[in-house]
Amino acid sequence: MALRCGSPPPLDPARLWRGLRGSARLSLWPSGGSLTAPQLRVLWQDAEGLHIYKPGLEDGGLYRCTATNELGSDSESSLLQLAEYPKISLSWRNVSDLGSAALSAVVGGWIRLRLGANLTLDCPVTGVPQPTVSWHKKEGALSRNARLLPSGSLQLHNITLQDYGTYTCVAANPIGKSAASSHLHVSGATQALSEHPTVVSKEGGRKRVLMASRIGTRAVVRPGDILRIGCPVVPNHRKAIKWYFQNQTLEETQGLRHRTLVGGRVLEVNTLHGKLDGRYSCQTQTDGQLLSAWVHISLEEFAWQLGNWTVCSASCGSRGTQTRKLRCVSPDGGDVPPSTCHHLPRPVSSPRACSNRDCPASWVSTAWSTCSSSCGRGFRQRQVSCQQVEAAGTVRFLPPSGCADTAPPTDREDCTTDTCATWVTSSWGQCTGRCLGPGLATQSRTVMCKHLNSSISPGTSCDPKDRPQSSQNCSSDACDVHWRVWPWRRCTVACGSGFQSRRVECVQRRTNKTVADQHCTWQRRPVSWQHCNITSCSSECKDTTQYCAVVKRLQLCLVDLYRQRCCESCSVDTHPI
């Protein structure tokens, strides 16, 4: 690998490489192509930069190149990381905990939990670049109660029997990928270990071990049971103990998952993987003699079995079916809880047709027709006939005498649809509404949707297109009015800027009486005050504001107020002759 550190040729600066690798520090200076530091795999070549031969993990770190000359210095850095295949730190530890509500375990061993427990399955992984973690289930898609945590762990919440199976963690990066699996076994909530003769049960807080003997011991285990076999030696035995399966060392046995405990005195076997039924033996030296003890393990196999056919779903005709229920049975044929067989494939039980005899004749009715009246009372009808369903499934129509044993159902009955509804209006009210013009006002009335029984119905029961008007125009003397204005009062000032007012009244034409102003609002109200005497109080005509030039240019001298304040400017005629 080469790290280049180029610079413009005219400057020809001296270049310095420094590498910080963990706690080590590397400093290299070019000295005629030779190294000043004893780094056999790191070589400085002035034309090609820094070369690292066969880089390893110890070469990873930050490398900085510094270039200096008489004008100054500059530096750039590069981070060197060596790519690593993903590696999962799996655990071969098997875990069985039927008492805890929550458990955390590392992928690799098998796990046994009770129904309803929560499981967090960790997948510790290393690699460069950082691998991505995904989870898969051998038996199918992950269930809805499975959640992938940001740490890469898999969390199973409220475990059910459907969560049984093998879960695989896959860690991948651009270099490659690795995988590790754990098998999850789910036990029923009411299923105790003591139910199984060879299951290690809790007694006095300790776990029971099946002891081998010189004359041999026989035991039966079920898949998922904890199988621990003890070699009959004293607790302080220090000699090596060798375990065998079917007269072969455990190292020579393929597919058997196991581990030794208590210094080799106890052998624990995973009962969920491989062929585990057979003879297990241990050998060791004790008191100068060879001790050999063994135990024969038989695997109690359970199976799904199809039960008897159910009762036919129909007593006659051709539509009857029957099925067979599934049973989980032990080797002796006895029924066991279905959870014991949940890990086994279920046989398919297809229904079959049954009952091949004619049905007795009976009355058959069609559906009722719609009511004859769309509102109120009416009647509806249906067809009634005597029929017989034959064994082949065909229907035979019989005369009424064929069903004479029973009375026929009625073919006509009264019906009532939604109570009829219609628009109902009250009388028009007085013509006292808002005035719209001379002698013109409005009047209103109530409009309701009512049933024939006078009950009020929502408006949706009546056709909105037929809804009568609830208001209309009308003639009203109260609206035959006009504005009456009085003469202007005297101006408040003789000169300068004053104002004057006048009385404005709404008057009825016929009576000539004053009424409220609201009756005349349909026409514009005359002004009741205005400016007056906007003339200078001095005989001298002069401008009194600095904006008179603007007033003159905008031709505002026609306005009395501006003409008074700009008397001099407004009196000068600027229009050309």
Judge contact between 115 and 186, C-beta under 8 A: yes
pLDDT recorded at residue 46? 60
Say which residue the tokens 């600027």 belong to: 574
Q: Which of 351, 348, 350 minimizes the C-alpha distance to 321?
A: 351
Q: What pairing do the DSSP bridges indicate for beta strands 61-69 and 110-114?
A: unpaired
Q: What pLDDT digit, counting tens, does each position of 453-476 carry?
A: 778 777 677 888 888 999 999 988
pTM: 0.31
Does residue 216 surpass a pLDDT of 90? no
Instruction: Look up residue 432 and give its two tokens.
Output: 């006292």
Query: What three-state secondary structure class fits 479?
Result: helix
What is the distance between the alpha carbons of residues 95 and 90, in angstroms, rounded to a whole number?
A: 14
Angle at 397 between CA 395 and CA 400, to 5 degrees: 140
Top-confidence residue, 1 or 406:
406
**pLDDT bracket for residue 393 (50, 70, 90):** confident
Does residue 569 surpass a pLDDT of 90? no
pLDDT recorded at residue 201? 35
pLDDT recorded at residue 365? 95
What is the distance between the alpha carbons of residues 259 and 244, in angstroms, rounded to a whole number?
A: 12
Does residue 399 surpass a pLDDT of 90? yes
Instruction: Look up residue 509 and give its two tokens.
Output: 């034409």
59-83 b/e (C-beta count within 10 Å ≥ 16 → b): bbbebebbbeeeeeeeeeeeeeeee
Mean pLDDT of the region 16-28? 46
Judge contact between 302 and 329, C-beta under 8 A: yes
Judge contact between 26 and 39, C-beta under 8 A: yes
The CA-based dihedral angle spanning residues 17, 20, 21, 27, taken in that order and rounded to the nearest 10 degrees: 40
The CA-based dihedral angle spanning residues 249, 250, 256, 261, taken in that order and rounded to the nearest 10 degrees: 150
What is the distance between the alpha carbons of residues 479 and 471, in angstroms, rounded to a whole number?
A: 17
Does residue 21 surpass a pLDDT of 70? no
Does residue 110 surpass a pLDDT of 50? yes
Q: What percent of the chain has pLDDT over 90?
A: 28
What is the distance between the alpha carbons of residues 197 and 297, in angstroms, rounded to a whole number?
A: 12
**pLDDT bracket for residue 19 (50, 70, 90):** low
Does residue 255 surpass a pLDDT of 90? no
Which H or E element spans position 228? strand 226-230
pLDDT recorded at residue 45? 64
Q: Which of 482, 485, 492, 495 minimizes the C-alpha distance to 521?
A: 482
Q: Which residues contact 401 (CB under 8 A, 6 or more apart)?
A: 386
Beta-bridge mates of residue 279: 296
Judge contact between 118 and 112, C-beta under 8 A: no
CB atoms within 10 A of CB 413: 11
pLDDT recorded at residue 188? 54
Task: Phi first, then psi: give them for residue 553, nearest 5 degrees.
Answer: -70, -35
Residue 464 CA to its chain's centroid (Å): 44
Beta-bridge mates of residue 346: none
Q: State the average pLDDT for the chain.
A: 81
Q: Which of 251-255, 328-332, 566-570 has the lowest mean pLDDT?
A: 328-332
Tell me the HSE value of 465 on the side-chain side, using a 13 A CA sphere.
0
**pLDDT bracket for residue 518 (50, 70, 90):** confident
Judge contact between 107 and 150, C-beta under 8 A: no
Q: What pLDDT digit, counting tens, does each position of 140-185 carry?
A: 889 889 999 999 999 999 998 788 888 999 999 988 888 888 888 8
Q: Which of 298, 275, 288 minimizes the C-alpha distance to 216?
A: 298
Judge contact between 82 and 129, C-beta under 8 A: no
What is the DSSP secondary structure assignment for residue 427, as one 8-state letter?
-
